[in-house]
């Protein structure tokens, strides 16, 4: 008789997503002139989680 069991040998990675730019705004807020919504981050976070990975939203880094 054979017995199989799962033994975790390593941790899955945590994927971090960071948007950059002064023109980026969080979705759901009225756009200021010359700005765009940060739709890519929302999409990426959803796709990462859909594949079973942990995703960390690091927000928006402003340009210097």
pLDDT tens-digit map of 5-46: 766 777 778 999 999 999 999 988 899 999 999 999 999 999
Q: What's the token pair of residue 52?
A: 């079973």
Q: Which of 30, 54, 26 is nearest to 40 (CA)?
A: 26
E-strand spans in 1-64? 14-20, 24-25, 36-37, 54-61
Spatial CB neighbours of 56, under 8 Å, sequence gap ≥ 6: 14, 15, 16, 17
CA distance linking residue 14 with residue 61, whole number of Å: 19
pLDDT at 57: 95
pLDDT at 1: 64
Q: Where are the domains of the chain?
A: 14-61
């Amino acid at each position: 008789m054979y017995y199989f069991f799962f033994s975790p040998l390593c941790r899955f990675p945590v994927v971090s997503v960071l948007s950059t730019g002064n023109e980026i705004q969080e979705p759901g807020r009225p756009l200021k002139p010359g700005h765009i919504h940060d739709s890519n981050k929302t999409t990426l976070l959803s796709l990462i989680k859909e594949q079973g990975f942990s995703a960390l939203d690091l927000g928006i880094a402003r340009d210097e």
